[in-house]
A and B are shown apart, each in its own frame.
Chain A
Amino acid sequence: MARRTDFDEGLNQLRELLIRMGTHVDGALKEAVESLKNSDLAKAEEVNRRDAELNAMEEEILELGSQLIITQQPVAKDLRRIIVAFKISSDLERMGDLARDIARVTIRMDGQPLVKPLIDIPHMASIASTMISESIRSYMDENTDLAYKMAKDDDEVDELYSAMLRELYTLLLDKPESAPQMMLLQMVGRYIERIADHATNIGENVVFLVTGRRPDLNS
């Protein structure tokens, strides 16, 4: 098969940017949850501050992809590679926002002690983190099996979130004075659950990239 040097180089640049975005989001999520667990305000501030880098990378992907469409007029899978890169970068950017939102919860709690040790949140975050890496790998390797596996991981995150809500509700009855903190923790659970949904969206886009058809893995 003949190579289209400029185009292939452009696609490689897109891939590298997506990997960088994925690595950044994964790091932001881990740091944000760490900051919450340890009431580490400095770490939370760092996550909050670095979100701008992710937005810049998304812009870069939009610019590069647009240039490739204009100059190379790709069709079929080549075109889908760019469309999918746009969609994945948008999902990753949103995931970054959600990680930043978790860090902002740490900042809002301002060092107050946790009403209970965090168990479900780090567990959910760990699954979501794996999903972030898998989503990028499924794009790189055009691996649809991994995309479908992520849909199962997402179900697990959803179940953990439901269980966490039930637990918070029970705790709320016992310690109504902790309601403000519990609402914040509930929000963190929701943010992680959304991050997993976005990772699943990436899986859907990988299936679209490979097959040209769009499945619904988030239902």
Chain B
Amino acid sequence: MEPIIRTENLDLYYEQFHALKSVNLDIPEKAATAFIGPSGCGKSTLLRTLNRMNDQIAGTRIEGLVSLGGADIYDKNMEVESLRKRVGMVFQQPNPFPKSIYENVAYGPRLQGIKKKSELDEIVEESLKQAALWDEVKDFQKRSALGLSGGQQQRLCIARALAVKPDVLLMDESTSALDPISTAKIEELIRQIKNRYTIVMVTHNMHQAARVSDKTVFFLNGEVIEAAETKTLFSTPEDSRTEDYISGRFG
């Protein structure tokens, strides 16, 4: 698997706090990579670094390289908007716009200048299908997105992110607020789309990482302790700290 994202000697500081320490990591293209580790280990910080969400936090300082498809995303010529079009994100809490289901998904493509109704219809349908929501909403796309259940709202947010055809989809604990059935639907959709998109997910649920990801990265105190094929990391981890953490014996 070719890396699409690469970090080299990446350090990140929030004021004096050293949140990421010399992170060297390859994220394979068109596969799911999961970040696991205890709270405060840096996994969400690294995820937010991949689409420059940390830019908005005052006092953040970054050293080292983060590249997407070979290009330095922190280069002064990199446009953050175009970066975020290529690197979409889904958050812990579903955050649909207070608009119709259709408009939520069509929003991004419209911003990109797509005006033709038939084209937008096609994108909305395809995105909702990829997000495994189409069958449930196809007959009432004009209804408010806020009337959907939490799990449906989260899948709508995934459809909205996919509508702009990103290369990478970042998921920050995207199922932690959902019930087991909704979680299972999202895990299934990740399995369905991961050979078309690069997915990077942060999860507190280790078994979710084991179920859906191809590669798993274990973080501790801002460092990458181990990055390996998921099957290997959960059966024969190399580092005893990884084994202790995944076995629930950490601390």
Chain A: residues with CB nearer than 8 A to chain B?
1-4, 7, 72-80, 211-213
B206 contacts A by Cβ under 8 Å: yes
Looking at the complex, which of B163-171, B186-194, B233-241 is the stretch in contact with chain A?
B233-241
A76, B247: Cβ atoms closer than 8 Å:
yes
A75, B210: Cβ atoms closer than 8 Å:
yes
Q: A75 — which chain B residues lie within 8 A by C-beta?
A: 206-207, 210, 234-235, 246-247
B248 contacts A by Cβ under 8 Å: yes
B251 contacts A by Cβ under 8 Å: yes
B235, A212: Cβ atoms closer than 8 Å:
yes
B250 contacts A by Cβ under 8 Å: yes
User: Can you pick out 12 interface pairs between chain A and chain B where the beta carbons lie within 8 Å of each other?
Assistant: A1-B249, A1-B250, A2-B248, A2-B250, A4-B249, A7-B248, A75-B206, A75-B235, A76-B235, A77-B247, A211-B236, A213-B236
A76, B234: Cβ atoms closer than 8 Å:
yes
Question: Given known contacts A2-B249, A76-B247, what 11 new A-B pairs fall within 8 Å (CB)?
Answer: A4-B247, A4-B249, A7-B248, A73-B207, A74-B247, A75-B207, A75-B234, A77-B243, A78-B247, A211-B236, A212-B235
Rounded to whole angstroms, the CA-CA distance of A7 and B247 in the bound complex is 10
Contacting A at CB under 8 A, from B81-103, are none
A1, B234: Cβ atoms closer than 8 Å:
no
Rounded to whole angstroms, the CA-CA distance of A78 and B234 in the bound complex is 10
B244 contacts A by Cβ under 8 Å: yes
Rounded to whole angstroms, the CA-CA distance of A3 and B249 in the bound complex is 6
Q: A212 — which chain B residues lie within 8 A by C-beta?
A: 235-236
Q: B246 — which chain A residues lie within 8 A by C-beta?
A: 75-76
A-B contact count (CB 8 A): 39
Rounded to whole angstroms, the CA-CA distance of A2 and B243 in the bound complex is 12
Q: B206 — which chain A residues lie within 8 A by C-beta?
A: 75
In angstroms, how far is the closest chain B Cβ from the Cβ of A208? 10
Q: B236 — which chain A residues lie within 8 A by C-beta?
A: 76, 211-213
Q: B235 — which chain A residues lie within 8 A by C-beta?
A: 75-76, 79-80, 212
Rounded to whole angstroms, the CA-CA distance of A86 and B234 in the bound complex is 20
In angstroms, how far is the closest chain B Cβ from the Cβ of A69? 12
In angstroms, how far is the closest chain B Cβ from the Cβ of A205? 15
Rounded to whole angstroms, the CA-CA distance of A75 and B251 in the bound complex is 17
B237, A76: Cβ atoms closer than 8 Å:
yes
Q: Which residue of B lies closest to A72 (CB)?
A: B248
Rounded to whole angstroms, the CA-CA distance of A140 and B251 in the bound complex is 25
Rounded to whole angstroms, the CA-CA distance of A75 and B36 in the bound complex is 14
Rounded to whole angstroms, the CA-CA distance of A77 and B242 in the bound complex is 12
Rounded to whole angstroms, the CA-CA distance of A73 and B209 in the bound complex is 14
Q: Which residue of A lies closest to B243 (CB)?
A: A76
In angstroms, how far is the closest chain A Cβ from the Cβ of B247? 5
Rounded to whole angstroms, the CA-CA distance of A75 and B207 in the bound complex is 9
Most buried by B among A4, A74, A76: A76
Q: B249 — which chain A residues lie within 8 A by C-beta?
A: 1-4
List the 8 closest A-B pairs by CB distance, nearest first.
A212-B236, A2-B251, A75-B234, A78-B247, A1-B249, A75-B246, A2-B249, A4-B248
Cβ-neighbour of B244 out of A1, A74, A213 (below 8 A): A1
Q: Which residue of B lies closest to A2 (CB)?
A: B251
In angstroms, how far is the closest chain A Cβ from the Cβ of B121? 44
In angstroms, how far is the closest chain A Cβ from the Cβ of B72? 37
Q: Which residue of B lies closest to A3 (CB)?
A: B249
Contacting A at CB under 8 A, from B164-215, are 206-207, 210
In angstroms, how far is the closest chain B Cβ from the Cβ of A218? 23
Contacting A at CB under 8 A, from B114-164, are none
Q: A80 — which chain B residues lie within 8 A by C-beta?
A: 235
B41-84, CB under 8 A of A: which get 1 and which 0?
Answer: 00000000000000000000000000000000000000000000
In angstroms, how far is the closest chain A Cβ from the Cβ of B240? 9
Rounded to whole angstroms, the CA-CA distance of A72 and B246 in the bound complex is 12
Q: A74 — which chain B residues lie within 8 A by C-beta?
A: 247
Q: Which residue of B lies closest to A79 (CB)?
A: B235
Q: A73 — which chain B residues lie within 8 A by C-beta?
A: 207
